[in-house]
Every structure is written in C-alpha cells, then in structure tokens.
Structure 1
Amino acid sequence: MPELAVSLSPTSCQTYRRHRTRGWGACVWIGSGLITVASERPTDTPTGADLPAGDVAAFEAVIGVHFDDPALLHAALTHPSFANEHPEDPAPTNERLEFLGDAILGAIVAEELYARFPQVQEGRLTEWRSALVCGPTLSRVAVDVLDLGPWLRLGRGEEQTGGREREGNLERAYEAIVGAVYLDRGLATAGEFVRRTLGDEFEALARDPGVLNPKGTLQQIAQEHLGRPEYRLVGQSGPEHDREFTVEVYLQGEALGRGQAGTKQEAEKNAARQALPKVRARLRELGDAPAGIEQPGAGEHGTAGGTAVPGSGS
C-alpha cells in the first residue's frame, strides 16, 4: 500500500476540499480528530476474482454504483466465516474495507450534518453523527434500503445461526461497501452513495430530532395519557460473542413496537422507534398530539427544521 500523508494542521479541511472531487484523498475522523489522508489509489486491492457477471451487474443495480473492479464488491460482501471455510476463494474478507469505510462514512456524515444544520452546535452534531453511523442505523439501512442480507457471503455455521439478519454483519457489510465505492470510484461517488442510502435518516432527523433518542421521546409524549412504556426482552439468538436481542415495548398492555440489535439497549431503542408513529397516531385520535417535542435547555444546542431538540439520553 502506498505511504499515507497524514496532516493534523489547520489546513486539513482545505486539503479535504481539494481532494473531494478527484484523486484518492479523504478527510476522516479518527477518535475525535479530523485528519487528512491523501494517497494514490491503493494497489493491494483484489483483482481478477472469478465473479459471475450477472451477479455483479445485479448488485451494482441494487447499490446504484458501477465498479471498474468488481472484485472489490466481492470482498465487501465476504464475511470472515466464508473465508475460513473457503481458503481457495480469491476474495479477502470485508474487514479491511470495513475499517476504511467506517472512516470515510464518518467524514461524509459529518459534512452533511454541518451543511444541513448550520445553527446546531458541535456537541449536538457529534451526538447526531454517532447515532447515524451506529450499528442499529446502518443495519436498518442495509435491510430497508439495500436488502443486503441475501447478498452476504457467509460460512455454513454463520448461515445456520441467522447471520443474514444479524445486525453486526449487516452494519459491517454496509461500511465495507462504502470503502469499496471509495476505492473504486473516489470520494465524491462514495458521498453520493452515503447521502442516497442514508437520505431517509437525514430527512427524519430534519423533521424530528427525537428519532435519534426514541426511548426518551416515546416516554415524553406517551406518559401523560398512555402511561410509562414497558420494555420486555422476548428473544435472543446468535453465538455468545455476537448475540442479537429482541425487545418489545408495551403501552397499556399492548405491544406497539419490536426491535432487534446487538445489545438490549439498542434493541429497546429500535422498539421505541417503531412504536413512535403508532403512539403519535393514537394521541392525534385523542386530540392531544404534540406539535413538537420541546425540552428545557434545547435552545443552547440549536434547533433543526423548526423543531426543538429533545435530550439525548437513552
């Protein structure tokens, strides 16, 4: 791999702008810092893999990106379990592409939030970025927007234990695809891919910032008339190192939402997120639907889309 030039200087963002539309540079987040990574196109990416042309074309249609090197797509979809069972296969696992895609994704989401919400302060933007690139969000996009599950290349054991629906596998595959798009088509195309596939998430955030804190929002709007939400763990699956939890949220004894995730807390958030539209509809029927969710002190963080920002607790 060519040597990377890494700069932490104040000119980093200018360098990012210069590389954004051409070349193979990026401005990426490592921890809490924004760094510039400028390099030539990597030369250690897989080439020459035996890929069925029909499958490649079909998957390119799914993600909306044409690849010069389709072997990158092959790698992005290859789970380590598949590589372990098929050492003869030329494609590497998607772990390195996931590493790269995670950094590229963070930079793209940060820039999009910065542009969309000019009045929102850094602390709130950081919270939103974390929520947009977290496992539950990316796995939801992987399923709802791209339907990635059927495309994953899994080992037999992973397949038999529900690997195609596992949040971690879907999240990592999405990030690996971002990395593959970046390597093959450059940062501008990677940005287009992320903005398109995360478009509904950005729009939902603009309409109601509470979607990023669904548990707090659900409790706030429901407790006065419908009571306090109750979360019940109804299932768990997967190996010990990669568990998936299923949680249902109840109001007045009725299950209104169901969520799955790699942790109980995230599963509860997903259940609350699913329940929110039903609760709002019920409150409208009662003639008591809140126009916006206001929270004391929200003004210090700014607002988005004219809606006050609720707190970010879980």
Structure 2
Amino acid sequence: MEHEGSLSELEALIGYTFQDIKHLETAITHKSFVNEKMVGRYMSYERYEFLGDAILEFIVSKYLFENYQTMPEGDLSKLRSSLVCEFTLSKISRDLRFGEFARFSKGERQTGGANRDSILCDMFESVLGAIYLDGGMECATAYVERFLLQDIEHKQRFHDAKSKLQEYVQKHKINLQYELLAEEGPDHNKQFTVRVVLDGKEMARKVAHSKKTAEQYAAFETLELLHQPTGKR
C-alpha cells in the first residue's frame, strides 16, 4: 500500500479540498518513493517544500507585523523563529497524521521516515505549497492561520521551555537533570521516556518519538508546575 489513508480523508483533516488532487499527491511523496518506483510520472515533494517555505515565512511575518505592532524587530524575528521551527511544524504534521498518508519507499517507512521530525516539518511546508498552487494565497493563509497561528504565546513558551528552565535553575541554584528512563520499540517507531529531576525530585515524566522531544515536553510541564512563565525572564 502506498499510503495508509485516503486523500479525501487527508483533505478533511487539513480543511481544504483540492481542485487538482495531484498537487496533494506530490506534496506527500517522499523522494525515496520516487527512487523506488523509477517512473517519470512521480515527483517528490521537495520543490513544493521549497515554495512552501518561502510562503510560510511571508504569511507568518505579515501576521506578526500586523498583530504585534509595538514589538521590536528583534523580538518579532525570535517569535517567528519559534513558530516556523522544525519542532513546531513537525508536531502539527504529526497531529494531522501526515506520516500515515505520505508515500515512502518500503525501506524508508520501515526505518522510521513517517515519524522523522525533519520530514514531517518539510511536509507541512510542501502541503502549504500545494495549497498555494491549487487555490492561491488566500487558501494558503487560511491553512497557516488554522494550524500554526493559533495560541501563539503557548507555542512560544513551549519552544523556549528548556532554555527557560535552565535559566530558572541557575537563578535559584537548583540541580537539574534530564534522565532517560526507557528506549522502547523497533527502530522505525522508537518511544523515549524522559523525566526532569530538580534537586533529586521528579517533576515531570514524558514519552515521545525522540529523546529531544520528550525532554522538551518534560521541561514545559515542569515550568508549568513551578508557575514560571516560560515566555518571560
């Protein structure tokens, strides 16, 4: 099976119906699938991702410029970076189940391509490029606003969680440890369990598809427990 879900189901998840479904097919086709099939009619998502990356930066920049009118340029850049980073975009793509619908070679899927943050991040942008080509800037903007430009402050706090927790423990002279408790599952679907320990006390325990992501979740939850705003010093 090339992908596990139907394209109409994916359209429903992203809230957009394509006039030309080939745009969506291309946006979820990994280069490994193209190389495996060796048929000229297939194209990978890479060119769509290139286009989507530029469109995403424009849409987010315009939104922040219009809605944060007193924020200095440097802070606008930091906020934009927290929104368009790999971690944030891959999380959205994972929630939308892009990895399930994507077309991979058998080997790429078996080795975890469908769960890889870098690929999922690229697919958020390639789908954006596909929507733009199919429906124009208004539809592309609606996609970004629906999935990315909601609860911006929460996304920023989450993005900054590890650095803010580090600042907190340094200020209060607390010993911070991230402990890897378990690494389970096959190579293509690893699950990492990580906990945050402050001065010997467990504060949070989280499970994710990568050690880095589990640490990020645990740091964020720890800051919430400490009632420490992660967006402020």
- TM-score w.r.t. the length of structure 1 is 0.62
Amino acid at match of 1:271: E
Q: What residue is the counterpart of 1:4 in the other structure?
A: none
**Matched length:** 225
Q: Which runs of 5+ in 2 are unaligned?
A: none
Q: Which residue of 2 aligns with 1:137?
A: 88
C-alpha change, 1:98 and 1:238, in structure 2 (3 Å) is farther
Q: Hey, which bits of structure 1, 4+ residues long, moved more than 6 A?
A: 223-226, 236-239
**Aligned residue number for residue 224 of structure 2:** 280
Q: Does 180-189 or 55-64 show the bigger shift?
A: 55-64
**What secondary structure does 2:113 align onto?**
coil
Residue 67 (structure 1) shift? 0.8
Displacement of 1:78 in angstroms is: 0.3
The residue correspondences of 1:258-277 to structure 2 (distance < 5 A) are 258=207, 267=212, 271-277=215-221
1:256–1:275 Cα contact (<8 Å) kept: no
In the alignment, which residue of structure 1 is the partner of 2:124? 174
Structure 2 counterpart of 1:99 = 50
1:129 is paired with a residue whose SS is helix
User: Which whole-Å CA distance do the structure 1 matches of 2:117 and 2:47 have between them?
Assistant: 18
Cα distance change on mapping 1:277 and 1:250 into 2, 3 Å: closer
Q: Distance in 1 between matches of 2:55 and 2:87?
A: 18
Give distance in 2, aligned partners of 1:96 and 1:155: 19
In 2, Cα distance between the equivalents of 1:196 and 1:231?
Answer: 34
Displacement, 1:272?
Answer: 2.9
1:23-62 equivalent positions in 2, closer than 5 A: 55-62=6-13
Report the residue type matching 1:161 in the other structure: T
Whether the 8 Å contact between 2:179 and 2:194 is mirrored in structure 1 is yes
Structure 1 residues 216-253: Cα deviation after superposition (integer angstroms, max 9, x where no partner): 222344567793332346669979xxxx9958342135
- Paired position in structure 2 for 1:186: 136
1:227 and 2:191 equivalent?
no
| % identity of equivalent residues | 33
- The answer for the alignment partner of 1:250 in structure 2 is 196
d(CA) in 2 for partners of 1:55, 1:229? 45
Higher relative contact order (CA 8 A, sep 6+): 2
Q: CA RMSD in A?
A: 3.2
User: 1:114-171 CA distances to partner (integer Å, 9 max, x unpaired)?
Assistant: 2222221111111121221111111011112x12111010001111111111111111
Q: CA deviation at 1:113?
A: 1.5
Q: TM-score, normalised by structure 2?
A: 0.82
* Structure number, greater radius of gyration: 1
Distance in 1 (CA, whole Å) between partners of 2:10 and 2:121 is 17
1:201 offset after TM fit, Å?
Answer: 4.9
Q: Does 1:216 align with 2:163?
A: yes
Gaps of 5+ in 1: 1-50, 284-288, 294-307
> 1:221 & 1:235 partners in 2: Cα distance?
28
1:176 counterpart letter in structure 2:
S
* Matched-pair contact (CA < 8 Å) for 1:83–1:93: yes
Residues 55-105 of structure 1: CA deviation (Å, up to 9, x unaligned): 232221111011111000000000000001112362310000000000001
Higher normalized helix content (fraction of residues): 2
Equivalent in the alignment of 2:24: 73
Counterparts of 1:226 and 1:86 in 2: how far apart (Å)?
57
Deviations, residues 277-297 of structure 1 (Å, cap 9, x unaligned): 34423x3xxxxx34x46xxxx
- The code of the aligned residue for 1:250 comes to V
Tell me what 1:127 maps to. 78
> Structure 1: how far apart are the matches of 2:221 and 2:192?
20
1:181, 1:277 → 2: CA distance? 35
| Alpha-carbon distance between aligned partners in 1 of 2:161 and 2:51, rounded to the nearest angstrom | 29
